[in-house]
Structure 1
């Protein structure tokens, strides 16, 4: 017989995490646990206000399926019972974990992968003054890729300062919808000169139609504009890459299908995350296999991660142990 439990947790961030639309000092997550006999499956999600989520709302969505989950609802039928989003993600990932434990096989094998290798993640620099971002970049200059949060006056100075402080690392710039098309047209050639590899979600999702037909000198990546497979064809006409996140897709099941469809549309893949613990990152390690860009640094931004957590060797992320997930 199955049993479902769920609850909210707060995890302090080391300092503050700041993007164009605001700052926060803690990660609020929802954790789901589904037990069956001696087996336990877990999933973690992040209710995100940008998408209309609240902790209370996500918990309510999960509770609405308690009877169905405890009666044996599987991953395939779950997809039709909840919309894509944080609540479905936590349940979907918990069911993947439970299925792996019951089968005695790792989740990556259930997903059709031949192996699960370590990946190299971006490390995110919060939005701040050029001087502060340069200082943070200098402290992390040996990492293979840095992701800069931008979105205000002085953005070019920020990127130039980071490039000077970390001359060898690959740079990704993330505007979180904060630029206008005119600003993007002005900044993109300068970012190309500074060897920026990717500009993530430069325009508000509602305005990104302006990107159709424009040849950006830097690869553009959809984030807030891309949630599920239904968004990919539209994004393919506007971007060269998509950021696939479990919380947006509504779980590993949809996210795996998104990677396959993105490849068919010749989109490059970024696997991203919200700020959360290793339990939220672990399923995304399956997605990250072969991705052009990986951004699974959420636990590195926390004051403390859960135990056991993922093992980070600098920016190298080791696969999760079964005790954590999968």
Structure 2
């Protein structure tokens, strides 16, 4: 019989993390642990207020589903009885890990996928003043970063990208507006960013109000993040986006993320895998999607004052397995 426990934990950040919607100095995660008496497995999620989640609401969801899990609920059945979101993600990932352990396999072996040595991941530049963001870019590339993800709002967009490009002339740059560019001249803005060799623009307009993307040219691929949560969202995005950002906390776990990867490929959409702030427990679960993605943003643990063990190794712009 499987036993299920869960808890929330506040993880202090090593430095503030700012995006267009606000600044954080700590992140609260929820961890689910499953054990059958011989094997134990843990999954982690990060509840997100922007998606009407809190640590309390996630724990309430987990408490409701716990009797069914302990009665033998399968991972396949979980997808039908629990809605998408971070609660299902933590449980789904714990189930994957427990299934692998029971079969004496790694997760990679269970998925019949080769385990890579490392994966290039973005290093995020938190929203800040132009001078501080350029300085952070220089420090990041001096430390080996190859891909920089630039958090932006509506202020000094081109000026900040220009300064970061000057500080990191060889790095791949992607920008993330977190829905902040409504009302701006997107055509001119996209063209100006193209001149700085920006490789991708993530979620420039609010989810549900992004039709203006149909009416402007995309010299740079545009990626859906807040507009794309689950498998059923993907088909309706093709007229506005070239890429989708798959996050386990949004879609409800590795099971849905793998299905989304297959569907995006079928429909000709390119793939990014992203994360919320969190520990290596959460990032490691997303790696089977990351190895199939064009862009990877799994740098959550580098923002933490202390990572969970066993910790993934982040070095020279890559996450090492």
The TM-score normalised by the length of structure 2 is 0.97
Q: Is the CA contact (8 Å cut-off) linking 1:31 and 1:44 kept in structure 2?
A: yes
1:184-263 aligned at under 5 Å gives the runs: 184-263=186-265
Return the alpha-carbon distance in structure 2 between the equivalents of residues 249 and 184 of structure 1. 28
Q: After TM superposition, list the pairs within 5 Å mapping 1:1-326 onto structure 2.
A: 1-141=1-141, 142-180=144-182, 182-319=184-321
In structure 2, C-alpha distance between the alignment counterparts of 1:90 and 1:134, rounded to whole Å = 36
Deviation for aligned residue 1:140: 1.0
Q: Where does residue 323 of structure 1 map in the other structure?
A: none
Can you give the 5+ residue segments of structure 2 that lack an aligned partner in the other structure? Answer: none
Ranges in structure 1 where 5+ consecutive residues have no aligned partner: 320-326
Name which of structure 1's ranges 152-161 and 125-134 shifts more when overlaid on structure 2. 152-161
TM-score normalised by the chain length of structure 1: 0.96
Cα distance between partner residues in 1 of 2:61 and 2:39: 24
**Deviation per residue, 1:58-109 (Å, 9 max, x gap):** 0000110111101111110000111100000000000001001111011122
| 1:213 Cα deviation from its structure 2 partner | 4.6
- Return closer, same or farther for 1:5/1:48 CA change in 2, 3 Å cut-off: same
My pick for the range that moved more, 106-115 or 76-85, is: 106-115
SS at match of 1:283: helix
**1:212 aligned counterpart, secondary structure:** helix
Could you say what secondary structure the match of 1:218 adopts? coil
Give aligned pairs, total.
319
Using the TM superposition, give the Cα deviation of residue 209 of structure 1 relative to its aligned residue in structure 2, in angstroms.
1.7
CA gap 1:237/1:144 in 2 versus in 1, 3 angstroms? same
2:186–2:216 contact (8 Å) kept in structure 1: no
Q: SS at the partner of 1:12?
A: strand
Aligned residue for 2:208, secondary structure, equals helix
Distance in structure 2 (CA, Å) of the matches to 1:309 and 1:204:
34
SS across alignment from 2:228: coil
Report if the CA contact (8 A) 2:242-2:269 is conserved.
Answer: yes
* 1:181 Cα deviation after fit: 5.0
